[in-house]
């Protein structure tokens, strides 16, 4: 199987005053195309640091990270931003939707950055929202939707550009159990369609 993510002896240190904090201490693993992987750990175990590296938001102090065979550590910040936009769909615990913008406009936003023309990005946004069961909520703003519906908009936004990797950071953290099941079912269906899904959680039940 093709490796979509390859992490080799990743270390990430932070300087806090005179003290060096070792957030990641030589982490190595591979994730193959089409896998569904959960990264678990308690608060303070380094999950967020690892997420930031996997999502090309940060670079390791040492070690190598290959995303789709592309070495990330030596890239500039703008280069990482382009790679992130093309390869990774993010789903966050706090949804990160623009409050004054409709569901369809929120989903279109990453496609604007990719230079997709207006007609195509609208079509992709509508298809993604339909896929997560929000075809009747496309013109609603976040404050007109429940938490579970907002998270579904966030998933639609993550998948609209057809990235090979979906990175979900505590996606059910702010949701009730019924909404959590819905979100996990959607992520499961994304995986069944061939997406590589990485789910970060502290919840053993998830």
pLDDT digits (tens, 9 = 90+) for 116-152: 999 999 999 999 999 899 999 999 999 999 998 998 8
CA 185 – CA 89 distance, rounded (Å): 17
Query: What is the SS3 assignment for 169?
Result: strand
Per-residue pLDDT, averaged over 18-47, amounts to: 93
Which among 199, 193, 118 is positioned nearest to 162, based on CA atoms?
Answer: 193
Q: What pLDDT, on the 0 to 100 scale, is given for residue 72?
A: 93
Answer yes or no: are the C-beta atoms of 35 and 165 closer than 8 Å. Answer: no
CA 150 – CA 148 distance, rounded (Å): 5
- Which residues, other chains included, contact 55 with Cβ-Cβ below 8 Å and sequence gap of 6+? 84, 88, 90, 167
Which among 135, 151, 149 is positioned nearest to 96, based on CA atoms?
Answer: 151
Cα distances (Å, whole numbers) of residue 135 to 6, 94, 129, 204:
37, 22, 6, 32
CA 12 – CA 190 distance, rounded (Å): 31
- 158: phi then psi, degrees, rounded to nearest 5: -65, -30
Per-residue pLDDT, averaged over 70-93, amounts to: 90
Location of structure tokens 């998933």: 155
CA 201 – CA 206 distance, rounded (Å): 7
pLDDT at residue 115 is higher than 90: no
What percentage of the chain has pLDDT greater than the value 70?
Answer: 100
Location of structure tokens 């950071």: 169
Q: What pLDDT, on the 0 to 100 scale, is given for residue 203?
A: 81
Which among 50, 63, 59, 57 is positioned nearest to 23, based on CA atoms?
Answer: 50
pLDDT at residue 162 is higher than 90: no
């Amino acid at each position: 199987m093709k490796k979509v993510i390859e992490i080799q002896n990743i270390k990430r240190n932070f300087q806090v005053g005179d003290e060096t904090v070792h957030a990641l201490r030589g982490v190595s693993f591979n994730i193959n195309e089409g896998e569904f992987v959960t990264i678990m750990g308690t608060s303070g175990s380094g999950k967020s640091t690892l997420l930031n590296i996997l999502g090309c938001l940060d670079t390791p102090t040492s070690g190598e990270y290959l995303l789709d065979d592309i070495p990330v550590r030596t890239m500039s910040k703008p280069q990482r931003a382009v790679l992130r936009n093309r390869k990774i769909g993010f789903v966050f615990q706090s949804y990160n939707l623009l409050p004054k913008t409709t569901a369809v406009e929120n989903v279109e936003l990453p496609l604007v950055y990719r230079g997709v023309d207006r007609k195509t990005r609208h079509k992709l946004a509508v298809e993604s929202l339909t896929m997560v069961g929000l075809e009747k909520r496309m013109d609603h703003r976040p404050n007109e939707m429940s938490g579970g519906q907002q998270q579904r908009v966030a998933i639609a936004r993550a998948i609209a550009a057809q990235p090979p990797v979906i990175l979900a950071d505590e996606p059910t953290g702010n949701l009730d159990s019924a909404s959590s099941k819905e979100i996990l079912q959607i992520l499961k269906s994304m995986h069944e369609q061939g997406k590589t899904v990485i789910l970060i959680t502290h919840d053993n039940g998830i």
